[in-house]
Amino acid sequence: MTVTLADVAARARVSPATVSRVLNGNYPVAASTRERVLRAVDDLDYVLNGPASSLAAATSDLVGILVNDIADPFFGIMAGAAQTQIGGPGDGSGRAGGEKLAVICNTGGSPERELTYLTLLQRQRAAAVVLTGGAVEDPAHQAAIAAKLAKLADAGTRIVFCGRPPLPEGDALVAALAFDNRGGGRRLTEHLISLGHRRIGYVAGPPERTTTRHRLEGHREALRAAGAVEEGGTAEGAEAEDRLTVHGPYDRRSGYEATLELLRRAPDVTAIVAANDTVALGACAAVRDQGMRIPQDISVAGFDDLPFSVDAVPALTTVRLPLFEAGARAGRLAMGKENPPPGGIATIAAELMIRGSTAAPRG
């Protein structure tokens, strides 16, 4: 029924050990023998039994990539980029070639599913795991994840964070690539302030995510530095900040609804900063549906600079994150093709992209 190593060995008139060595190419085999074996492999259309191989070698060629939402290009781009570095081009034959099987796992942002996938990957003795995107800040889950990662690392699995802050007690991991969300958020709001905006609404992501918090913190840093919310004392400033912030999921619809809420609470905002570009698109729609023009009546800004941002009308002012580059680098780190950054952590710069959706508020 199934062709096994032994069948190939028989046909090539060598021992199974030799066939294995030819296939893995990590032991000297005479050229003539190798050729004979390879021909037998082709003749019989042999395909290695992965589980058997993994069992015997105690390692597998699986690399897991965990994402929060694969339908979101933010993750799609990173995951795709990582995969370009992991699944080598291959030769179409059944032979190994250093390429691994990159598997993208969609957690849907749920910590439980994240843990489940990590366990599944642990079961498969994955060669590496890449965790992308913001983490949930619940201490219990942080600890659970950290414990699981420690076990994985123990078993020889390489761990890479991409666009995700390192663990508090992050030691087991090979490398963390963190986006400068705080700095990006700060520069974006500084830009709005420099245009003359003072009442700036913020449509934030889910409160429990690190990404949300960091971007929001950057925003508020800029606000405070400019004294933009000082209308008496710090207490009132904080109150104003809260009133001008609405949280919701990272999707278009949430952006739409949160913006409506924001406009209701504070009809006098002159600018709205969204948690990301997708949310910003929803915000734009809401602003427009309220009969206001962008940017004449109200400025809108996003974050991430996803491909569609430049095509929005007007083009979205946003903060560019080098998603592809970061994903590719994470992939290389996972493959051990690249050395981890000093200290294990690299912060990736976020670049302000000023486009048409922001302008000075009306006199």
Partner DNA sequence: ACAGCCGTAGCAAGCGCTTTCTATCAGGGA
Partner DNA sequence: TCCCTGATAGAAAGCGCTTGCTACGGCTGT
Which residues make up the interface to its own copies (CB under 8 A)?
A: 2, 45, 47-55, 60, 62, 69-73, 75-77, 79-81, 83-84, 87, 89-94, 99, 101-106, 108, 112-113, 115-117, 119-125, 144, 151, 155, 252, 278, 281-282, 284-285, 288, 307-308, 310-313
72 binds, among its own copies, DNA, none (CB under 5 to 8 A by kind): its own copies
Q: Of 203, 157, 210, which is closest to residue 179 (Cα–Cα)? A: 210
315 binds DNA (CB under 7 A): no
18 binds, among DNA, its own copies, none (CB under 5 to 8 A by kind): DNA
48 binds DNA (CB under 7 A): yes
Q: Which residues have CB under 8 Å from 361's CB, separation 6+?
A: 195, 196, 197, 270, 271, 299
53 binds DNA (CB under 7 A): yes
- Residue 51 or residue 108: which is nearer to DNA going by CB? 51
346 binds, among its own copies, DNA, none (CB under 5 to 8 A by kind): none
**Interface characters, 56-85, with DNA (x: CB under 7 A):** xxx---------------------------
Q: How far is the CB of 52 from its own copies (least distance, A)?
A: 5
84 binds, among DNA, its own copies, none (CB under 5 to 8 A by kind): its own copies
**What's the CA gap between 335 and 329, in Å, rounded?**
10
Q: How far is the CB of 157 from DNA (least distance, A)?
A: 15
Q: How far is the CB of 88 from its own copies (least distance, A)?
A: 8
Q: How far is the CB of 276 from its own copies (least distance, A)?
A: 13
**What's the CA gap between 145 and 156, in Å, rounded?**
17
189 binds DNA (CB under 7 A): no
Q: Which residues have CB under 8 Å from 136's CB, separation 6+?
A: 109, 111, 142, 208, 209, 210
Stretch that binds DNA, among 15-23, 141-149, 193-201, 264-272 (CB under 7 A): 15-23
Number of residues near DNA (by CB under 7 A): 30
- Residue 71 or residue 143: which is nearer to its own copies going by CB? 71
């809401």: which residue's tokens? 286
Peptide bond into 165 cis (omega under 30): no
**What's the CA gap between 205 and 246, in Å, rounded?**
8
Binding-site member from 6, 71, 225, 292 for DNA (CB under 7 A) = 6
Q: Of 352, 219, 247, 356, which is closest to residue 300 (Cα–Cα)? A: 356
133 contacts 211 by C-beta, under 8 angstroms: yes
Q: How far is the CB of 32 from DNA (least distance, A)?
A: 7
What three-state secondary structure class fits 341?
Answer: coil
- Residue 16 or residue 166: which is nearer to DNA going by CB? 16
**What's the CA gap between 300 and 288, in Å, rounded?**
11
Q: Of 86, 87, 77, 134, which is closest to residue 111 (Cα–Cα)? A: 134
245 contacts 204 by C-beta, under 8 angstroms: yes
**What's the CA gap between 171 and 144, in Å, rounded?**
15
Q: How far is the CB of 247 from DNA (least distance, A)?
A: 43
Tokens of 174: 């090979």
């002012």: which residue's tokens? 317
96 contacts 48 by C-beta, under 8 angstroms: yes
113 binds, among DNA, its own copies, none (CB under 5 to 8 A by kind): its own copies
User: What residues line the site for DNA (CB under 7 A)?
Assistant: 2, 4-6, 13-18, 20-21, 23-24, 26-30, 32-33, 46, 48-49, 52-53, 55-58
